[in-house]
Structure 1
Amino acid sequence: MSDEQDPYRGHPAPDDAPLTQYIQALIQRLRALDRRRPLLWDLTVTGFWVLFAVLDYSTGGWRTVARNVEAPEPLVLLMSLCFSVPLLWRRSRPVTVLVLLAPVSLVNIWTGAVVQAAFLQLIPAYTIALRLPLRTLAWSAVLMCLPAAAGAIRIPGAADRQLVSYLWGFAFVALLGIAVRTRREYTEALVERAHRLERERDQQAQLAAAAERARIAREMHDIIGHNLSVITGLADGGAYAAAKSPERAGQALEAIGTTSRQALAELRRVLGVLREQAPAADLTPQPSLGDLDTLLTGVREAGLPVRLTVHGTPPPAPASPGRQLAVYRVVQESLTNTLKHAGPDATAEVTLTYTTTGLEVRATDSGGRQQTPEGEKTRGKPGGGRGISGMRERASLYNGTLESARLPAGGWQTRLRLPLEDAPP
């Protein structure tokens, strides 16, 4: 738990809080102090144990367990300081500290003084168990127990008991360090997993938002591109007919108004999903194969002769709404490109072919005698627009394929193949 997550950081725990929360709050404060000022913390801990060692010497407490109470007192004081002062480097260089304490421990057992500060060797041993590899921990056991084993030569019975005490003490701190280390690594793994899940959640949200933006962009491109092309054709035809046939010009203006209103209604439906609080959901169905006749009628009114041919028998179960929308948009985009690029003398043909496993759609135009070179170069050029790439994206959503290319004899053809059911691509 970090300082920011500590519920009692900076103020005491509530009066009705359990004892464990008081202890946890105190531990968090100590850890925070250690992180902010590690040197101050090391000096405090080392000073505490130096004071303990000096009091053990000054009060004569070492004589209660000593095997040789006649040991020189200056040597006892020196050994007490040698066992406690190096603890200042117990975290940065625990192995070095244990190596320096090994000869002091040998002198301590060999002289029979057996000062109690010798057990301070367990503190760097705990640090080794907490942070360093197990191989280093094994060598630490040798460094601690070897002086006691060597002392058995001098004082057989007493050294044996001292060796057993060292072994039990080392086993306790080693198991404690390994347990704390395991718990810490487990907690770090949980925290890392939580952070990874948060990153994955954010990435999934970004991918979903990008997919939704792409879908809306495709819909807006198809709606605006097609309707503007139809309006442009109607406006050009109306301007041409205004001088010779005012009635045809009025029909063109009426068709422009109808097409504009339809485009505006579709745009409102598509953009309505972007509102955070929509007053009511628009339940207007998306275009389907049944709306192809209406689409072709609008294109014919814009001045492009187009013919629809159907081969084969539609399956008993109709294609999914998404597949039908994909077919509709591909036909719409193909005819829009014909209106924009093929010239005024072009004709178009849409062919739907049903098979036992899928549906094939061909949209072909004848080009035109007055087709401009710029229009022919722009159609199908990478970066020239989003039409063909949008059609390919729609096809790939349903494991379909789309081909769009210039015909050798002139004109353009777009071919869409869609499976009627979900299948591996």
Structure 2
Amino acid sequence: MTTETARETATTPTRLSRSLQQLTARARAADVRRPWVWDTTLTLFWTAAALVDASGGWRNTAPDPTVPPWLVITLSLALALPLYGRRRHPTAVLAVMACAALVSAASGAALQACYLQLVPLFQLALTRPPRALLWALGLLLPPLVAGAVRFPRGSWDQHVVPTLTSYALVALLGIAVRSRRDHTAALVDRARRLEIERDQEIRLAAAAERTRIAREMHDIIGHNLSVITGLADGGRYAAARSPERAAQALDAIGTTSREALAELRRLLGVLRADEPEAARDPQPTLADLDALITGVRKAGLPVRLDRPDTPTAQPLPPGAQLTVYRVVQEALTNTLKHAGEGATATVLLTYTPQDVRAEITNTGVQAPAAPPGQGITGMRERAALYDGTLESGPLPTGGWRVGLRLPREGSPS
């Protein structure tokens, strides 16, 4: 057997089973849309079959062939027509058919249409609780016993046991189909719930990412625009007296603008799906504080940075360093915006084995009000990410203070 022949042989059952599944799915869908069509077809088919048997064929197996034809026809209709209501009222249908089967067995007709009781029995096992099968047994057993007692042929178990076995097999088949249907419904429901949970997780992740991006953009744009504003104001005053200082201010404005654009391009480039190789430069760390403070000084705000020469033997994680950097950046940006002329700022960093602290104060004439934007909120959120705390408020002597504390890993907050 060649490889191609073996492949075709292997795929043939798959294609056949797939075709059968599609055909079954279409039949079920049609039955759900128009159940009365299938019920009417089934009822008419078995009614016709019962009447054909009632035309004379029933005498071939009847213990008493002298039963009146009108009774045979009436019993045949009573055994076939109730099938139309088997979905909605299977127990009532089985009760009506059991009464007709009891008359058939007691009269000696023994109609083959009595086996139609298997249809509502299957429906009971498929849609009703297991205790309903006990009621079904109480309805199915009397006709069998009546026929065995009224027309004994051989031992009584030859009349009762084979028929009861067929009833039991049909009931087991209904239970098996019901179990499989319930299992499939449970799997579908689980898949649906997992899909809903996945969508919710995606939305939550997207919201968290939007918040993070908004915070980064706020820090980048707000700080650099504040520096540019300060440089522009200083350059305007210096233009009349010292053109060289004005030129230096313009150069600083250009440098700050280019740095801001570069950071924005880096931040937005990561988001572009069509740029998988977008530049992913490292985020600012504590080593970049000197450059940050130099830029603020150029904008006209005197800043003093106090920090130990040897911060710690255990460096902070990059994310925690970025938090300290952004908090210092935001605090100095708010000072540029709100502290007024003549203000100075101090940045104090303190390292201990348990935590890292950053305190940013300014000496503005009036304490700056909390900004209406996302500044203070963003700083608190950044601190909370690393189980830290942030305090912000006016100083008794005038000015403003921002205090950050970030615990080290394994230390209590």
Q: Same fold (TM over 0.5)?
A: yes
Residue of structure 2 in register with 1:420 after alignment? 408
> TM-score by structure 1 length?
0.88
Deviations 1:197-250 (A, max 9, x none): 222222222222222222211111101000101111111122222233333222
- Please name the residue that 1:189 is paired with: 186
Alignment correspondent of 1:85: 81
Between the aligned partners of 1:255 and 1:325, the Cα distance in structure 2 is 24
Q: Contact 1:288–1:321 (CA<8 Å) still a contact in 2?
A: yes
Confirm or deny: 8 A CA contact 2:98 2:139 kept in the other structure. Answer: yes
- Corresponding residue for residue 95 of structure 1: 91
Could you list the runs of 5+ residues in structure 2 that have no partner in the other structure? 1-10
Kept in 2, the 8 Å contact 1:363–1:413? The answer is yes
CA distance in 2, matches of 1:25, 1:405: 70
| Most deviating of 227-236 and 276-285 | 276-285
SS, match of residue 414 in structure 1: strand
Structure 1 residue 263 corresponds to structure 2 residue 251 = no
Residue identity opposite 1:421 in structure 2: E
Which residue number corresponds to residue 161 of structure 2? Answer: 164
What is the CA-CA distance between 1:293 and the residue it aligns to?
0.9
Whole-Å separation in 2 of the counterparts to 1:221 and 1:18 = 58
The one-letter code matched in structure 2 to 1:398 is: Y
Residue pairs, 1:12-411, within 5 angstroms: 19-60=16-57, 62-155=58-151, 160-278=157-275, 280-310=277-307, 313-368=310-365, 376-377=368-369, 379=370, 384-411=372-399
With 139-148 and 338-347 compared, the bigger mean Cα shift is at 139-148
Match of 2:241, SS?
A: coil
Residues 69-117 of structure 1, C-alpha deviation per residue, up to 9 Å, x if partnerless?
A: 2222211111111001110111121111112222212211211211111
Distance 1:40 1:226, change over 3 A: same
Over aligned residues, Cα RMSD in angstroms?
A: 2.4
**Structure 1: which 5+ residue stretches go unaligned?**
1-13
Q: Distance in 2 between matches of 1:417 and 1:190?
A: 49
Letter in 2 for 1:415: G
**Deviation, structure 1 residue 274:** 2.1
Q: Per the alignment, do residues 244 and 17 of structure 1 end up closer, same or farther by CA in structure 2, a change over 3 Å counting?
A: closer
1:206/1:422 CA distance change after superposition, 3 Å = farther
Asked if structure 2 preserves the Cα contact closer than 8 Å seen for 1:148 and 1:160, the reply is no
Tell me the distance in 2 between the aligned counterparts of 1:151 and 1:145.
Answer: 10
CA offsets 1:242-286 (integer angstroms, 9 cap, x no match): 233333222222211111111111111111112222284324321
Count how many residue pairs are aligned between Structure 1 and Structure 2.
Answer: 402
Is residue 399–residue 423 contact of structure 1 (8 Å, CA) maintained in 2? no
- After alignment, is 397-406 or 149-158 more displaced? 149-158
Residues in 1 aligned to 2:36 and 2:276: alpha-carbon distance in whole angstroms:
63
How far does residue 160 in structure 1 lie from its aligned partner after superposition? 4.8
Q: TM-score, normalised by structure 2?
A: 0.90
Q: Determine if contact 1:312/1:355 at 8 Å carries over to the other structure.
A: no
Q: Residues of 1 paired with 2:81 and 2:46: CA distance?
A: 8
Label 1:227 to 1:419 Cα distance change in 2 as closer, same or farther (>3 A).
Answer: same
Do 1:149 and 1:160's aligned partners in 2 also have CA atoms closer than 8 Å? Answer: no
> AA paired with 1:389?
T
Q: What percent identity do the matched residue pairs reach?
A: 57
- Partner Cα separation in structure 2 for residue 153 and residue 424 of structure 1: 88
Give the counterpart letter for 2:312 in structure 1: P
Q: 1:253 to 1:280 in 2, by over 3 A?
A: same
Question: What whole-Å deviation, never above 9, does each CA across 1:140-159 have from its counterpart, x for those lacking one?
Answer: 22122233335555345676
One-letter amino acid matched to 1:125: L
Relative to structure 1, the CA distance from residue 33 to residue 279 in structure 2 (aligned partners, 3 Å threshold; closer, same or farther) is: closer
- Give the conservation status (yes or no) of the 8 Å contact 2:354–2:411: no
Q: Is the 8 A contact 2:307 2:349 kept in 1?
A: yes
